[in-house]
Amino acid sequence: MKNFGTLEYILDNYSKTWSWKVTGPRVVSMVSKLIPQSWYGEGPNEAIIPDSIANLKQIRWILERYPLEILSKSAWQRKTPNPIVGKKIVSKIEKLQRAKPGPQFRGKLLNFQKEGLDFLLKSSGNALLADEMGLGKTVETLAYLSREKQAYPTLVIAPLVTLNNWQREIGKFLKKKSRNGHIIENDVPSSIIIRRGKTEELGKFDFYIINYDLLYKRFHDLSKIGIKTIVCDEVQYLRSKTTKKYSAVKKLAALPSVKYRIGLSGTPIYNRGSEIWPIVDILRPGLLGSFKEFCEYFCYVNDKGKAIVLETKRESLRKQLQKHVMLRRRKSDVLKELKEKVRYKEVIDADTNYYFNELGNIWEKLEAEQKEAKSAFDKSASYQRAIHRERQAAGVAKLPHVINFVKNIMEIEESVVVFCHHKVIHKLLNQNLSEFLPATIIGGQSDKFRQEQIDSFQDGQTKLMIAGLRAGNVGINLNRAKYVIFAEMDWSPAIHQQAEDRLHRIGQKNTVFAYYLIGKGTLDDHVANVLVNKSFEIDSIMDDVKESFENKDKAELILAQIHDKLTAK
């Protein structure tokens, strides 16, 4: 078992008081964040911590997650009522067994889900469940909570569209546990979905469920309720350490009351491998060092200033994650009856006259905006608007042929899911495919209406679902269908994988066919290049594979391609 450093009770030369000295770069870094009263010792890898009850609690918190060699065992035993000397602390995840849920759990786990439960137990509840989507990470988490005696109150942080689903799953899989520990068979844990940003007392519940964007507004209310467990669903929402939601979760996770931190995501990396660092730093602070240290060892900086994990370091990073914090399993590993996905790239016709006319308007407007821009921010925003307009123009240009493609599939298949990106494309698809009475998912719908649409599709009341890529890629089950059609493409490979896995999940008995429709003569091909290029980095870190619908060379910058199209006309 690896030690991260040492802990010793000393008479400090600077303060002339008895204090605690810790050594080791990662531990010192962690102490600097958690104990502001501390100071450096004689070297940069030493920290001195004043001897106080509050600081002892923080030291204990560190010891529970990162083993230190205790050099002053008698002093530690004397100072702490419940010494942890001799307690087994697992830093490396050993071979997984099939663990059993606690008596609070209702229902059954599949064998691989029992191993997922064992992973959480061996991780002391501080881990990243990164199984492919559709394998039951939610139910494994609830099973884990049923095993721990002091898991409540639990804070569940999730995307807005999944809040109701979390409340339903809690009621489905957990029985009520009274304050004295008795199980109430016919009751469920108390829960509240927090939907308002206004500060007010929250009351006492077993589960508090909130979306990421609202979290920072309710930080002070949540910090007062004595949270024991934090569950971050779709934890890739925390991939940027500069956001308000990341800052709020980071502070909540550092509260002394919090014992367990669980991250859930089939796609924790969206665009770049370096996005894994902020997530791991919340779940297991210090495991990957500081962000600077992580980048110096694992990454290079590209021409856009983004940290990209070196190809030679990707396997090393994956092994480090799997050894200490991450459980990652593919469907093909655990669901032998589930057939693989098959991806097709279909080049379809597009209205090039309309498309080039729109590109001309886009470029003319872009040049005008660049001249008027007063700052780098203004210029960047102008570029982003141009890209957005080009993507929408490409979607409209190929729309009649997308509709024909969907109709052809509908003739041979019972149920089909169509994903698009822009609201105008979503609206036009609904209008032109209205004969099939499609179910529809798009941003801005109420939870009730959204669930009614999903149920109507899953129950067979309609054979067509039209969904926005960002609105319909998480928190829903569409396994009635085996055909998924991408009328438009997003910039992130993870978005497409999530969308595909709304179909390719537990309960799917057929091969899932994914069709990516590429508009001939548009820049769809270049977007596909970007997707594949990103997927190489992501897949090699997560799975040691490179899976894509086509192996392409690295894409050119899309704005340069717009200009090339115009000048070549």
Domain boundaries, the chain: 6-79, 111-334, 341-568
Q: Report the candidate in 478, 481, 517 with the shortest Cα–Cα distance to residue 498.
A: 478
pLDDT value, residue 558: 39
Over 50: is that where the pLDDT of 300 sits? yes
| Tens digit of each residue's pLDDT (9 = 90 or more) over 532-557 | 556 555 556 666 554 443 333 333 33
Which residues lie closer than 8 Å to 373 by C-beta, 6 or more apart? 379, 382
Given phi > 0 = left and psi -120 to 50 = alpha, else beta, which region is 305?
left
Which residues lie closer than 8 Å to 439 by C-beta, 6 or more apart? 453, 454, 456, 457, 461, 462, 464, 465, 466
Task: Answer for the pair 128, 318: CB distance below 8 angstroms, yes or no.
Answer: no
Q: 111-334 adopts what CATH topology?
A: Rossmann fold (3.40.50)
Cα 455 from Cα 478, distance rounded (Å): 9
Share of the chain above pLDDT 90, in %: 28
Strands 46-50 and 39-40: antiparallel
| Tens digit of each residue's pLDDT (9 = 90 or more) over 492-510 | 777 777 788 787 777 777 7
Strands 6-11 and 18-23: antiparallel
Cα 445 from Cα 237, distance rounded (Å): 21
Task: Answer for the pair 439, 462: CB distance below 8 angstroms, yes or no.
Answer: yes
For the whole model, what pTM was predicted? 0.59
Among the ranges given (332-346, 434-448, 554-568), the one the predictor scored with the smallest mean pLDDT: 554-568
The letter for the amino acid at 327 is L
H helices of 123-235, where? 137-147, 163-173, 212-215, 219-222
pLDDT value, residue 177: 86
pLDDT value, residue 61: 76
For residues 65-91, give the mean pLDDT: 64
Task: Answer for the pair 138, 203: CB distance below 8 angstroms, yes or no.
Answer: no
Cα 406 from Cα 178, distance rounded (Å): 53
| Tens digit of each residue's pLDDT (9 = 90 or more) over 388-404 | 888 888 889 999 989 98
What distances in angstroms separate CA 327 from CA 129, 334, 402, one per listed residue?
Answer: 5, 13, 39
Compute CA 392 distance to the chain's CA centroid, rounded to the nearest angstrom: 27
| Tens digit of each residue's pLDDT (9 = 90 or more) over 104-133 | 999 889 888 999 999 999 998 899 999 887
Over 70: is that where the pLDDT of 269 sits? yes
In sequence order, the β-bridge partners of residue 466 are 418, 440
What distances in angstroms separate CA 328 from CA 219, 293, 333, one per listed residue?
Answer: 31, 24, 10
Token pair belonging to 535 = 């997927």
DSSP letter for each residue of 241-282:
TTSHHHHHHHHHHTSTT--EEEEE-S-S-SS-GGGHHHHHHH
- Look at the alpha carbons of 537, 548, 545, 341 in this order and tell me if their dihedral is positive or negative: positive
Same fold, 111-334 and 341-568: yes
Cα 283 from Cα 229, distance rounded (Å): 11
| Tens digit of each residue's pLDDT (9 = 90 or more) over 3-30 | 778 899 888 888 778 889 988 887 887 7
Supply the mean pLDDT for the chain: 82
Strands 299-301 and 307-309: antiparallel
Task: Answer for the pair 394, 463: CB distance below 8 angstroms, yes or no.
Answer: no
**Range of 120-129, 315-324, 365-374 with top mean pLDDT:** 120-129
Compute CA 38 distance to the chain's CA centroid, rounded to the nearest angstrom: 33
The residue count for the chain: 569
Cα 506 from Cα 499, distance rounded (Å): 15
pLDDT value, residue 337: 59
Q: Which helix (H) or strand (E) holds 388?
A: helix 376-397
Q: Report the candidate in 473, 496, 493 with the shortest Cα–Cα distance to residue 537.
A: 493
| Tens digit of each residue's pLDDT (9 = 90 or more) over 25-49 | 878 877 877 787 888 888 778 989 9
Q: Report the candidate in 434, 401, 389 with the shortest Cα–Cα distance to residue 517.
A: 401
Over 90: is that where the pLDDT of 522 sits? no
Query: 341-568 is classed in which CATH architecture?
Result: 3-Layer(aba) Sandwich (3.40)
Cα 519 from Cα 118, distance rounded (Å): 47
